[in-house]
Amino acid sequence: MKKLKILVKYLHFILSAKTKHAVHSPFIYNFLQKVVFSKTNSTDLNEIKLLRKKLLNDNREILIKDFGAGSHVNPSKKRIIKDIAKNSSKTEKYGKILYNIMKYYKPKKALELGTSLGISTCYIAKGYDKAEVISLEGCPNTIKIAKNNLGKLNIQNTKLVEGNFNNTLNHTLKEMKSINFIFIDGNHQKQATINYYEECLKYAENNTFFIFDDIYWSSGMEKAWEHIKKHNKTRVSIDLFFIGIIFIKKELSNEHFKIRF
């Protein structure tokens, strides 16, 4: 039922979304060309693809502790790794967007909320290996697997922090002092998502990229996305349906795009 609702929303999105040619801002057009529609291929991406393939065949069962809104697909406490890889990890199409932002814009400090098995973390960390990357995750058994996965890909620029975002986010932001890239992919609830935006804005710079996952996941998430778009610090939003990207660059004029991708 949930999947059907999302499909209907997606069809509605497709009908109202525009192509990249509807964008007149040179900065945003360039972003779409370099990041969203780029046909990047690299050894890094192939390594992550291989890691994903292995996880999709991993039949080990783990006990999970979910602090967030949980999974629509399998909310039970025991989950099989291959199911987590299939249902919770960002697909390659969207992983490449994270990778390309890191590769082309080279944000020095990147923060992720929701490591899970570490697949999206790999895209972020591999995109720019000189960046300082921190990823937060609440589930102890999941984070163990993520650590192992980062090790397999020889990722050395990333620190994983275990604990509820309520306890780890503030402390991590203080430690980082500033952030240039943030991927919010955990605890998909309206107020929590808005609070994460507000909290991170305090440490953001003019060039900081905000990426929100699953902006149509629930009516709460849709409301959070609408709120974030209207926030007085938000300049431009790009809605790609499965993710939303926010720019706070002061020199950009206020615009909101839905891009078919």
Ligand X SMILES: C[S@@+](CC[C@H](N)C(=O)[O-])C[C@H]1O[C@@H](n2cnc3c(N)ncnc32)[C@H](O)[C@@H]1O
Contacts to ligand X from residues 204-243, by CB under 6 A: none
Query: In terms of CB distance, is 158 or 187 closer to ligand X?
Result: 187
Which DSSP category does 48 fall into? H
- Subset of 149-188 contacting ligand X (CB under 6 A): 164-165, 185-187
From the CB of 233, what's the least distance to ligand X, in Å? 23
Of 44, 55, 137, 246, which one interacts with ligand X (CB under 6 A)?
Answer: 137
In angstroms, give the least distance from the CB of 133 to ligand X: 12
Residue 18 per-residue DSSP state: B
Considering beta carbons, is residue 120 or 234 the nearer one to ligand X?
120
Report the nearest approach of ligand X to the CB of residue 185 (Å): 4
- CB-based contacts of 91, cutoff 8 Å, min separation 6: none
Q: Supply φ then ψ for residue 207, to 5 degrees.
A: -95, 10
Q: How far is the CB of 43 from ligand X (least distance, A)?
A: 20
Do residues 77 and 140 lie in contact, with contact meaning Cβ atoms separated by under 8 Å?
no
At 213, list the tokens. 């996952």
- Each residue 71-110 as x (binds ligand X by CB under 6 A) or -, in order, gives -----------------xxx--------------------
Q: What's the closest the beta carbon of residue 188 comes to ligand X, in angstroms?
A: 8
Angle between the 92-105 and 43-55 helix axes, to the nearest 10 degrees?
150
Of 107 and 186, CB closest to ligand X: 186
Q: State the number of CA atoms in the 13 A half-sphere of 176 facing the CB.
A: 31
> 88 or 100, CB closer to ligand X?
88
Q: Which of 47, 66, 92, 132 binds ligand X (CB under 6 A)?
A: 66
Count how many residues are written for the chain: 261
Start-to-end CA distance of the chain, whole Å, equals 25
78: helix, coil or strand? Answer: strand
**CA–CA separation, 57 vs 149, rounded Å?**
14
Judged by beta carbon, residue 76 or residue 206, the one nearer ligand X is: 76
User: Between residue 108 and residue 127, which ones bind ligand X under the rule CB under 6 A?
Assistant: 114, 116-117, 119-120
Which of 4, 7, 85, 32 has its CA nearest to residue 260?
A: 32
Q: CA 90, 157, 100, 136: dihedral to nearest 10 degrees?
A: 30
Tokens of 5: 């609702």
CB of 222 to ligand X, least distance (A): 17
How many residues line the site for ligand X (CB under 6 A)? Answer: 21
Closest separation in Å from C-beta 221 to ligand X: 12
Residues that bind ligand X (CB under 6 A): 66-68, 88-90, 114, 116-117, 119-120, 136-139, 142, 164-165, 185-187
